[in-house]
Chains A and B, each alone.
Chain A
Amino acid sequence: MNQPARGLTYSRVSFRYPDSPGIALRDVDLEVEGGEILLVAGGSGSGKSTLLRAANGLVPHTSGGQFSGNVLAFGRSTRTHRPRELADVVGFVHQDPEAQFVVDHVERDLAFVLENLGHEPQAMRRRVEEVLDALGIAQLRERAPTSLSSGERQRCAIAGALAAAPAALVLDEPTSQLDPQGADDVLAAIGRLNADLGTTVLLAEHRLERAAPLADRAVIFEAGSIVASPGPPAAVLAGYAGAPPVTHLARLLGWEPLPLTVRDARRLAVEAGRANRSDRSDRSDGSNGLDGCKPPPPDAPGEAQGEAPGELLLDATGVHVELGGRTVLADVSVSARQGEVIALLGRNGAGKTTLLRVLGRLLTARAGSIEGPGTVAYVPQDPNTLLFAATVRAELEQTLHLLGRRDHGDVDHWLAALDLTHLAGRHPRSLAGGERQRVAVAAVAVGGADVLLLDEPTRGMDAPSRAGLERALRAHAEAGGAVVLATHDVELAARSAGRVVVLGDGDVVASGPARTVLAGSLFAPQVLRVLPPFLTVDEVARAQGVPAAPAGRVEP
């Protein structure tokens, strides 16, 4: 067997963590060629994190456990080499931007790996300068990581992994905790590194809109094994639930070759329109020439609402909030009625979280009033701040206990609504990220509030979790409640929300039905950019009379 010295090779790798009965990796064979970007897609708990950590020996040496097979990283076997002996060939970046800094100073933290490897001082200086330039963070060198934005922090973490000039970079969901701007910066940096330095990149991601176009090859992981062999990203990701919406759209409409970006999709849409027009006479119903396709009326509410909204649950008028001497919200008015799902969009720092906190009675406004008969509950961004009980069920029961309520099956109701019934006996902290967030939502929602305020609920969530959450929110709205979602995830807004409110620098910049507000704005979902006026793939499918595929299922 010829083992190439360039690249990462997994040969029949199986692994089991020390405490868990399940097998994390089953007989995995994978070859990452030198100089390529390989994208690993897969749901939470599918084993892709384990796969990535096996590349530099973190699995099994740091985690413990039972390991069989072999991983060769540029000729060095992880069976015999510890992670510290692979630090000069493989760099590793984690998804948490807060937990990768040893020193509270960017430049000194960068040098950590060089110090460990015992480089000469002169060589260290040179490497640090090179890496600062490669990542474009030279202006941040004196700063403390805790004072940076999370996108900047991740770039500094990448720099820290890159300082020893490793041949490969392994990144485990580096953008999942970042806002879109930060994510763009990080992925652009990764692309540049690969293009300029030829660094091999092994990248795992949930949200593939940005990452898929970057990759040379992609592979899908599920339950510890590869279910779709490595190949060109568009082909491999075609049936994957987390693929970009344009890919799903193209698959639905039979466009070839499958696009990964809006740009490619637009081109295909134009071609399809041209092809159709050449077959038929002018169509006057405004469709884009798609067969049998009737676009929904422009004012129709989104899918979240079947009927007209009900009574007013929450009415905030003229809210004015000042924090730290700055005006964060200036004269903001929002209302929520029964049956509504409202999406709150806006840049980082526009005031979305502050508005939710005010609505959730966690913050008092300087001026303005918040009235309404509906009870409110706020679900914080970070589920880790909530979870403390020993089991998922206990977590929900705690909330009821705190509110002095008795359990009338509310716990079971919410466990079922969020697909958590099979996890009810597990320790919340042993669950993967997406599941944890669902537990946090359940733990707050079980209190029976009418209006649920969710802050970035889908951050780092994989497609099945997202689908579960969307279903639960829709059900809650239909049952007479309301939901206000602050999110960067435009697709989530397009799929779930009936109304959209856009905040900009403390003011309400736009407010109205989802279709109107999202169209022509920076927040347009992918499908809307390609095939107006449709918002989502499901809408297109419905217009075609095709039953929409249940989200979260990977199809061959």
Chain B
Amino acid sequence: MTSRFHALAWLIWALAAAISLQLAPNPLYVAVVIGIATLVVQVHGSDGPFARAFPVLLTLGVVFMVIRVALTAATTHTGIGTELFTTPSFTLPQLLGGFTVGGPVEAEVLFQAAAEGFVVVGVMAVFGAFNAVVSHYELVQSTPRAFYELGLVVTVALAFVPSTIQAVVAVREADRARTGGRVVRRGRLIRQAIPVLESGMERAVNLAESMDARGFAYGGASPLDRVAGWAGFASLLALGGAFVALVGRASTVALALGAAGVGLLLVAVWAASAARHRSRYRPRHFTTADGAMAGIAMLAPIGIAALSAWGESTLTWAASPLHWPAFAALPVIALTALLAPMIRVPPVNAAEPPDTAGRRELVSDRGSAAK
């Protein structure tokens, strides 16, 4: 599955959109961002298994929002808001919180909660779009060499998923075969879970031999490893110190220590990456197009931040006093920078990537199930 942009470029885009959401939580602007995300998925979404990520995450966000809104509206009674309706109320026992559930439902509370929940929907939508358009293999490949083994675990795991599903199907059928085609429910879980697990573990052992035979973990420890280890340790100490400073209300010290911690961690990652002797086969390079896309996307949060510093008032919206959210052109213009992925639009009748063709064949092969 090849994506039109580098995985890192997509990540920057997603982060830019998420930050913009945080800086401009006005429901109208959030809606704009969600709309942009939807458009990006439509245009750049692949047919891969992650295409569903967008609607799934979006739905999740909406469900979350509905629950939170209901909860907040039911438990918050300021007494000064506009009453919409009243529900029967009861007070929870002290053990469960002692709050009053029910009672007058106020419009301000409702809309405020809805607006705040809507931001979460926006974040979900943005990352749903990210999952739907990015090439996960490239994402793993882009991780610094320091984390190579963990990335490899993820790669191996993803490579194992199709055969695991096939194994489960085969095991279920074998279980029925044992009893002449009938299904015996008792003890079915053990009878089916163990063969799948054991076969998987045996495959893992075989794969491990194949990996070792192909030179995995070539090259021993080097002095840079030691540097990486101590730098990592020091960075943790710095971060811990930052936390302590926060508690002690010394925010500048906290900020400094935090920055030091992050810096040391970067040093550690760099050292660990340099210590490994691996090379990368045909890595996807970060091209100018990718850089352009990422750069343009970053203009959105930067623009919004500038507007906010300049005193733009429509960026946030509060429900009380009750009023329609305001709408200004400048923030929307800033947000259109998130349409950056459109600089590379696929042709209308794009040919199917060969991988998908391979997968279709697999499906029909399995369908025939004849060997």
Among A115, A119, A143, the residue within 8 A (CB) of B358 is: A143
Q: Is B214 an interface residue (CB 8 A)?
A: yes
For A56, the chain B residues whose CB sits under 8 A away are: 213
Are B195 and A116 in touch, CB under 8 angstroms? no
Are B371 and A348 in touch, CB under 8 angstroms? yes
Instruction: Tell me whether A124 and B279 are in contact in the complex, defined as CB-CB below 8 angstroms, given that A352-B370, A388-B195 are known contacts.
Output: yes
Residue with the greatest number of chain B CB neighbours at <10 A, chosen from A352, A361, A449: A361
For B179, the chain A residues whose CB sits under 8 A away are: 399, 402-403, 447
Instruction: Tell me whether A96 and B206 are in contact in the complex, defined as CB-CB below 8 angstroms, given that A87-B218, A142-B354 are known contacts.
Output: yes
Interchain nearest-CB distance for A35 vs B (Å): 21
In Å, the complex CA distance between A113 and B213 comes to 9
For A362, the chain B residues whose CB sits under 8 A away are: 173, 176-177, 181
Instruction: Tell me whether A115 and B355 are in contact in the complex, defined as CB-CB below 8 angstroms, given that A91-B213, A377-B177 are known contacts.
Output: no
Interchain nearest-CB distance for B340 vs A (Å): 28
Among A53, A91, A144, the residue within 8 A (CB) of B355 is: A144
Are A99 and B366 in touch, CB under 8 angstroms? no
Q: Is B282 an interface residue (CB 8 A)?
A: yes
In Å, the complex CA distance between A375 and B178 comes to 12
For A62, the chain B residues whose CB sits under 8 A away are: 208-209, 212
The residue in chain A whose Cβ has the minimal distance to the Cβ of B170 is: A385
**Contact code string B244-286 (vs A, CB < 8 Å = 1, else 0):** 0000000000000000000000000000000001111110000
Interchain nearest-CB distance for A91 vs B (Å): 7
Among B191, B198, B214, B368, the residue within 8 A (CB) of A160 is: B214
Among A84, A104, A323, A447, the residue within 8 A (CB) of B178 is: A447
Among A128, A144, A324, A375, the residue within 8 A (CB) of B359 is: A144
Q: Is A351 an interface residue (CB 8 A)?
A: yes
**Contact code string A327-357 (vs B, CB < 8 Å = 1, else 0):** 0100000000000000000001111111001
In Å, the complex CA distance between A143 and B163 comes to 15
| Segment of B14-22, B26-34, B152-160, B324-332 in the binding face | B152-160
Q: Is B363 an interface residue (CB 8 A)?
A: yes
Are A147 and B361 in touch, CB under 8 angstroms? yes
The residue in chain B whose Cβ has the minimal distance to the Cβ of A325 is: B367
**Contact code string B192-221 (vs A, CB < 8 Å = 1, else 0):** 001100110011101111111111111100
For A349, the chain B residues whose CB sits under 8 A away are: 368, 370-371
Are A399 and B178 in touch, CB under 8 angstroms? yes
The residue in chain A whose Cβ has the minimal distance to the Cβ of B194 is: A388
Q: Is B351 an interface residue (CB 8 A)?
A: no
In Å, the complex CA distance between A61 and B371 comes to 37
In Å, the complex CA distance between A103 and B370 comes to 26
Q: Is B23 an interface residue (CB 8 A)?
A: no
The residue in chain B whose Cβ has the minimal distance to the Cβ of A85 is: B218
For B87, the chain A residues whose CB sits under 8 A away are: none
Q: Is A250 an interface residue (CB 8 A)?
A: no
For A100, the chain B residues whose CB sits under 8 A away are: 206-207, 210
For B281, the chain A residues whose CB sits under 8 A away are: 108, 111, 114-115, 121, 124-125, 128
For A353, the chain B residues whose CB sits under 8 A away are: 369-371
Are B177 and A103 in touch, CB under 8 angstroms? no
Are B177 and A378 in touch, CB under 8 angstroms? yes
Q: Is B288 an interface residue (CB 8 A)?
A: no
Q: Is A384 an interface residue (CB 8 A)?
A: yes
Are B195 and A87 in touch, CB under 8 angstroms? no
Are B358 and A144 in touch, CB under 8 angstroms? yes
Are A388 and B215 in touch, CB under 8 angstroms? no
Q: Is A76 an interface residue (CB 8 A)?
A: no
Q: Is B137 an interface residue (CB 8 A)?
A: yes
Query: Restricting to A262-317, which residues have a CB under 8 Å from any CB of B?
Result: none
Are B195 and A385 in touch, CB under 8 angstroms? yes
Are B362 and A147 in touch, CB under 8 angstroms? yes
Q: Is A443 an interface residue (CB 8 A)?
A: yes
Are A354 and B369 in touch, CB under 8 angstroms? yes
Interchain nearest-CB distance for A204 vs B (Å): 15
Are B277 and A118 in touch, CB under 8 angstroms? yes
**Contact code string A453-493 (vs B, CB < 8 Å = 1, else 0):** 00110000000000000000000000000000000000000
Residue with the greatest number of chain B CB neighbours at <10 A, chosen from A84, A92, A119, A403: A84
Interchain nearest-CB distance for B227 vs A (Å): 20
In Å, the complex CA distance between A316 and B202 comes to 38
Query: Restricting to A88-116, which residues have a CB under 8 Å from any CB of B?
Result: 88, 90-92, 94, 96, 98-105, 108, 111-116
Query: Restricting to B330-367, which residues have a CB under 8 Å from any CB of A?
Result: 353-355, 358-359, 361-367
The residue in chain B whose Cβ has the minimal distance to the Cβ of A163 is: B214
Q: Is B180 an interface residue (CB 8 A)?
A: yes
Band of interface residues on B: 35 or more
Are A58 and B371 in touch, CB under 8 angstroms? no
How many chain A residues touch the partner (CB < 8 A)?
92
Are A115 and B198 in touch, CB under 8 angstroms? no
Among B171, B190, B211, B353, the residue within 8 A (CB) of A385 is: B171
Residue with the greatest number of chain B CB neighbours at <10 A, chosen from A83, A179, A325, A456: A83
Among A87, A388, A449, the residue within 8 A (CB) of B198 is: A388
For A90, the chain B residues whose CB sits under 8 A away are: 213
Among B156, B170, B178, B365, the residue within 8 A (CB) of A402 is: B178
The residue in chain A whose Cβ has the minimal distance to the Cβ of B362 is: A147
The residue in chain A whose Cβ has the minimal distance to the Cβ of B160 is: A104
**Contact code string A401-424 (vs B, CB < 8 Å = 1, else 0):** 011000000000000000000000
In Å, the complex CA distance between A4 and B12 comes to 57
In Å, the complex CA distance between A294 and B137 comes to 67
Are A94 and B209 in touch, CB under 8 angstroms? yes
In Å, the complex CA distance between A121 and B285 comes to 13
In Å, the complex CA distance between A91 and B213 comes to 7
Query: Restricting to B144-170, which residues have a CB under 8 Å from any CB of A?
Result: 152, 155-156, 158-159, 162-163, 167, 170
For B206, the chain A residues whose CB sits under 8 A away are: 94, 96, 99-100
Instruction: Tell me whether A443 and B213 are in contact in the complex, defined as CB-CB below 8 angstroms, given that A146-B163, A147-B359, A402-B184 are known contacts.
Output: no
For A147, the chain B residues whose CB sits under 8 A away are: 358-359, 361-362, 365
Among B162, B170, B191, B366, the residue within 8 A (CB) of A382 is: B170
Q: Is B174 an interface residue (CB 8 A)?
A: yes
Among B194, B204, B361, B368, the residue within 8 A (CB) of A328 is: B368
In Å, the complex CA distance between A118 and B214 comes to 12
For B212, the chain A residues whose CB sits under 8 A away are: 58, 61-62, 82-84
13 CB < 8 A contacts A-B? A90-B213, A108-B137, A113-B214, A118-B279, A121-B282, A147-B362, A147-B365, A324-B363, A324-B368, A352-B371, A384-B199, A399-B179, A456-B371
Q: What 9 pairs between A and B have smallest CB-CB spacing? A: A324-B367, A361-B181, A87-B215, A111-B281, A116-B215, A385-B174, A92-B213, A388-B194, A99-B206
Supplied contacts A83-B213, A104-B159, A429-B202, 13 more A-B pairs, CB within 8 Å = A58-B209, A96-B203, A102-B211, A118-B278, A145-B159, A326-B367, A376-B180, A381-B371, A384-B199, A385-B173, A388-B195, A429-B198, A447-B180
Interface residues of A (CB under 8 A from B): 53, 56, 58, 61-62, 82-88, 90-92, 94, 96, 98-105, 108, 111-121, 124-125, 128, 142-148, 157, 160-161, 164, 179, 323-326, 328, 348-354, 357, 360-362, 375-382, 384-388, 398-399, 402-403, 429, 443-444, 447, 449, 455-456
